[in-house]
Structure 1
């Protein structure tokens, strides 16, 4: 993917083959052949089951909120990656759900928050919300939004409403949602001196009859 495409959210063309056979056995054969089963649905259209080239898809999915330009029997169909199912052990993509997009359509998506910069000496920036929800043009979805904490003092708070969004994007998350807080790290609790268990009889006054012996 070129840097320009990554920056602008432009889609990526990928060949998609329609399939009419289903089931776990068919899915295994597809994966063995280097393909991934997927379904495309939305906007009242009939779901279309397709297979996609596994290697190309895995590269595209490195980008959050990936949009694919599916080439299906000569037609182009924009689709947003909705869900990716992976084998929990091998992390192999087993199935993908794709949502049909229309040109000019706006969609709601969760976008990761990236913190950059260094706050004032002796403080740390704590990320309270790892992502925010925005509404944006389907072809202009940012991969992330950035929060700069350079030289911010302890007690400073950055809320969702303070984050600069890409042109045309609208905040959906509650504006007062705390995203980043600048705090002074709590002093390391060294704990109390370790207690020692008294050895039976240690430190006790001898009984009168023992003292007389």
Structure 2
């Protein structure tokens, strides 16, 4: 029988993209405005403002789920989602995304330490691939996941994290997973998955209070601090 190590090593690291490892300068809101206008919701209207508030509050959630809440009817929700993804992809192709400072170095360090790193997102695969291509990150990590890769359910469900756990087989327990994200939905997803580390970062949508309130075990200035944080936690054990 294989003996389990008594020292926890966080050898599976699941990182969010937009707001955590990728800076997009508010492209979500710009893409949402394009999608809403297509469905007859005019910018500047009270309806648009209320919808935008919901989009901001649910950053990190699967985008199709957001549009289902906003538009109710499935066909309208899918039309809005398609318009959103197209608009966001166009903005990405225009060079309006960049790595969060220190993010690539952090990922490369984690990989060099023998950890498996997975990039996850609430966007559709086509948009995720556009972001990875724009950054030159297509081959940076061994696995990238979007909601469709996890049975269709994105955050705040734990499915993306658990899919990373099952697909990579990098660790023997979910408690050896570290999750990092910039939204309360990222935190809820990590907590519900049973991850041992659920780190919020302050480079994206939600503030310290929201991240801590959703269950963050740590709140970091940015993902660049994550490698040192994991190393220090492992050293204490």
Same fold (TM over 0.5): no
The structure with the larger Rg is: 1
Structure having the larger proportion of residues in helix? 2
Structure having the larger proportion of residues in strand? 1
Q: TM-score range by the shorter chain?
A: under 0.3
Q: Give the TM-score normalised by structure 2.
A: 0.22
Of the two structures, which has the highest relative contact order with CA contacts closer than 8 Å and spacing of 6 or more? 2
Q: Give the TM-score normalised by structure 1.
A: 0.24
